[in-house]
Chains A and B, each alone.
Chain A
Amino acid sequence: MTTDSSLASEDAVTGAPPLADPTPPAPARNRLGAMTWISRYGVYVALVILLLLNMVITDHFMTASNLRLQLIQTAPTLIVAMGMAMVIGTKGIDLSVGAVMALSAAVVPLYIGYGSVAAILIGLVFGIACGLFAGFLVSVVGLQPIVATLSVMIGGRGLANVIAGSIKTISDPGIVALGTGSLLGIPYSVLIGLVVVLVVAFLVRRTTFGLNLESIGANQLATKLAGVRIAAVLLTVYAINGLLAALSGIIVAARTQASDPKTVGLLMEMDAIAAVVIGGTSLNGGKVRVLGTVAGALLMQLITATLVSHNAPDSLAQMVEAVVIIVAVFTQVGRRKS
């Protein structure tokens, strides 16, 4: 509760002009305000700067094919990050998304005999089931989200390995089309990502469900006392998150035309959490920033792309990403006051 109240008072300080007691040092106050501003809007500034920088220093950056590639590579992370943003909005966390991706990607080749649509639907059902299980552990049993989803993370990837055994190539024309086809020049995966963003934005901003979701994150006890069925809302949030992770896993499998249970979705929980947090959504819950999350996912992709296009190895990009994440979270939560 200490973090909540201090953040709230911080907002009050920056929002309203101080009526009394002007003695406290102004620089400290400005710095706190600046930190809050950076954590909310820094991602957009960074994105614009990085875009402008790339226009100057990277050859062939503003070509249609390169921008298309960047969007295709962002789409899976973006889809997972949308679900993650909702979970984090409830003050939860989901570490299992990568494993759920691997599980759904592993299931699809098994049921491909029933047709590509049926196989995809079954993959999505597995994702929803994983989400419901984690949601049940969190909302009904009362486990901490990190513990509940950690166990799904461990068991889920193991199950994916058991089911799939090894890498399976996918040659089903329907799935291949999902991975490579496009509509009006926009790849299907990017279109799906766009639809997911719009749906999540609608859910969060325009429905009672979205309101309840954010109020659980802000104050679960008060929300419960207000008569909201907390368990139902949390179950729905985790189920949607599982569904989106499964969708992302299927898209990754379709794009690579292979399902490798060992690599699909590996470290995706980190990328998704990073996109959400860099986008300005607080890990303390209470607020879902949809547009910020989109910008966060794009920024992470652009950082990697910038480094890689200038001959930096993937490994270096990964290390830079790790540092960016720590800095982004730090601008939100700040120092520990002793």
Chain B
Amino acid sequence: MSPTTASKPVAAPAAQKRGRASQLSRFVQRNGSWAVLILMVIVMAFAFDGFLTGSNLGQIARQASFYAPLALGLTFVIFTGGIDLSIGSLYALGGVIAAWASSAGFIPALLAPLVVCGLIGLVQGMIVAGTRIPAFIVTLAGMMFARGLVLFITDEGSITHHVTASSHFTSLANGSILGVGLELTAISAVVLGGTMLTGGSGTIIGSLAGITILQLVANLINRLGLSNSNWQSVVNGVLLVVVAVAQTYLSRMQARNKGDAATAEEAAKNAPEPEPAIPGT
């Protein structure tokens, strides 16, 4: 149903205006991340020498590709109005299992982590689908379980399973790298990419933009001489607040332009399930 038909008591020109505002806010929501990304690239290209070099851009892309699978998988989960807090720990678990299984050859090292982590994901999904336990509780418990399993396999973190196949694997396999905070980076990226945390709307390509924005921020932090890499998570937290607040206002604007503003807002505030927050879509 179109916005104009929903607000029929209003005079036609006003309704038209509202329809345009609604379209605009939806456009911003869907494409804002790309606009921000392009703007950041332009500004940084002018501000810093050596930004637009192949090696620098290549490095940013390489780092972004490292996080991209996490963010892409999470985008699907958040589409459904759920959340997955366990992915950082599963990432660590996958690395440790790969290293552990690598003694049996390359194929087991590749398949074992996919099977184990996939199974844990499947069990979590079955619990979310089959019970009324909130997704964040299920996946927080999953996070705890996966971390416990990582510690168990590495004999309480004291053993490092080494692999000689590639240096990348070795760094992953260290039991002390628990993937702490990776799920948070991924959530930030997905939200930055314009996916609503209430579910129901968003784009995969936006999540890619979100991940790239976070890598640009990391690059920026380096260039500004903030030697402490922990600024990254401070900035991530701030970005998450800003985007979540912007999304709240954008979706309220859409709701307001679709019908009675007060009821829409109350519905959004009081709804136990996120679906009523986006009426009519």
Contact = CB atoms under 8 A, between A and B. Distances in A.
A, B assembled together: yes
Interface of A: 1-4, 93, 95, 137, 141-144, 146-148, 150-159, 161-162, 165, 220-221, 262, 266-267, 269-270, 273, 277, 283-284, 313-319, 321-323, 325-326, 329-330, 333-336
Q: Interface on chain B toward A: helix, strand, loop, or mixed SS?
A: helix
Contact of B241 (A151, A270, A314, A329): A151
A262 B177 CA distance: 12
Contacts of A4: 272
B151 A318 contact: yes
B153 to A, nearest CB: 8
A316 B245 CA distance: 40
Given A142-B248, A155-B233, 12 more contacts: A141-B248, A147-B240, A154-B240, A157-B233, A158-B235, A165-B228, A220-B269, A314-B156, A315-B152, A319-B148, A335-B132, A336-B132
A159 B269 contact: no
A317 B147 CA distance: 11
A158 B237 contact: yes
Given A154-B236, A318-B151, A144 B197 contact: yes
Contacts of B272: 1-4, 284
B151 A314 contact: yes
A335 to B, nearest CB: 6
A68 B20 CA distance: 67
B26 to A, nearest CB: 19
21 contacts: A93-B136, A142-B268, A142-B269, A144-B198, A148-B241, A154-B181, A155-B233, A158-B230, A158-B231, A162-B234, A220-B270, A267-B147, A313-B152, A317-B148, A318-B144, A319-B152, A321-B144, A323-B145, A326-B137, A330-B133, A333-B131
Given A150-B187, A315-B148, A315-B156, A269 B132 contact: no
Contacts of B233: 154-155, 157-158, 161
B129 interface: yes
Nearest to A137: B241
B49 to A, nearest CB: 27
B83 A146 contact: yes
Interface of B: 83, 127, 129-134, 136-138, 140-145, 147-152, 156, 180-181, 184, 187-188, 191, 197-198, 228, 230-238, 240-241, 244-245, 248, 265-266, 268-273
Contacts, number: 157
A93 B85 CA distance: 14
A333 B127 CA distance: 12
A273 B137 contact: yes
A326 B133 contact: yes
Given A221-B270, A336-B131, A319 B149 contact: yes
Contacts of B266: 221
Contact of A325 (B137, B191, B238): B137
B34 to A, nearest CB: 22
A7 to B, nearest CB: 10
A269 B183 CA distance: 15
Nearest to B274: A144
Contacts of A150: 184, 187, 240
Given A146-B83, A220-B269, A151 B138 contact: no
B152 A316 contact: yes
A326 B147 contact: no
A141 B270 contact: no
Contact of B142 (A93, A148, A221, A322): A322
A159 B132 contact: no
Contact of B156 (A156, A161, A313): A313
Nearest to A160: B230
B249 to A, nearest CB: 9
Nearest to B266: A221
B237 A151 contact: yes
Contacts of A314: 148, 151, 156
Contacts of B231: 158, 162
Contact of B141 (A142, A325, A334): A325
Given A220-B269, A329-B137, A141 B151 contact: no
Contact of A147 (B197, B236, B270): B197
A322 B148 contact: yes
